[in-house]
């Protein structure tokens, strides 16, 4: 489990989130629907963390804002895939809801970061 301070370490929080997504998909039955959903949700959840790492090494403010925008896009996509996984796998609906909520909170955080960057441009 994450320590309280880890909630403020966004790189760690995104990594733990993607690890939890992997934990979820390992429990899903192997069928054609889940194969596609798993590929998508693992990709988007992992990409959100990777893009945040890139944002932290941005070469300019413009590059940073662009990378944070990608983080938001990947998180939004992850929410979509989690919803579909829950629909296709009712036994995992509670775990999907928990992951969806964490994803939603992360999306709110990165939306605020992006808004703050845009305000400072004015």
Per-residue pLDDT tens digits for 90-99: 999 999 999 9
Residue 109 lies in a domain: yes
pTM exceeds 0.85, yes or no: yes
Sign of the Cα torsion 111, 115, 116, 117 reads positive
Per-residue pLDDT tens digits for 41-82: 999 999 999 999 999 999 999 999 999 999 999 999 999 999
For residue 52, give every residue at least 6 positions away whose Cβ sits within 8 Å of its Cβ, in sequence order, or none: 10, 11, 14, 67, 68, 71, 110
- Predicted confidence at residue 121, as pLDDT, reads 74
Specify the number of domains making up the chain. 1
* Residue pointed to by tokens 């893009």: 51
Residue 2 lies in a domain: no
Two structure tokens written together for 28: 């899903």
Give me the CATH number covering residue 97: 1.20.1440.60
- Predicted confidence at residue 118, as pLDDT, reads 78
Q: Would you place residue 120 in the very low, low, confident or very high pLDDT band (cuts 50, 70, 90)?
A: confident
Domain around 117: 7-121
Residues 88 and 40: their CA atoms lie apart, in Å, by 14
Residue 33 lies in a domain: yes
């Amino acid at each position: 489990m994450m320590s309280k301070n880890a909630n403020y370490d966004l790189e760690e929080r995104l990594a733990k989130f993607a690890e939890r997504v992997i934990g979820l998909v390992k429990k899903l039955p192997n069928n054609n629907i889940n194969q596609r959903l798993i590929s998508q949700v693992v990709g988007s959840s992992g990409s959100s963390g990777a893009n945040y790492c890139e944002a932290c090494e941005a070469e300019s403010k413009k590059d940073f804002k662009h990378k944070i925008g990608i983080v938001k896009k990947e998180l939004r996509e992850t929410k979509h895939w989690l919803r579909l996984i829950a629909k296709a796998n009712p036994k995992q609906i509670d775990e999907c809801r928990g992951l969806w909520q964490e994803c939603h909170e992360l999306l709110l955080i990165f939306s605020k970061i992006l808004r703050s960057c845009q305000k400072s441009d004015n």
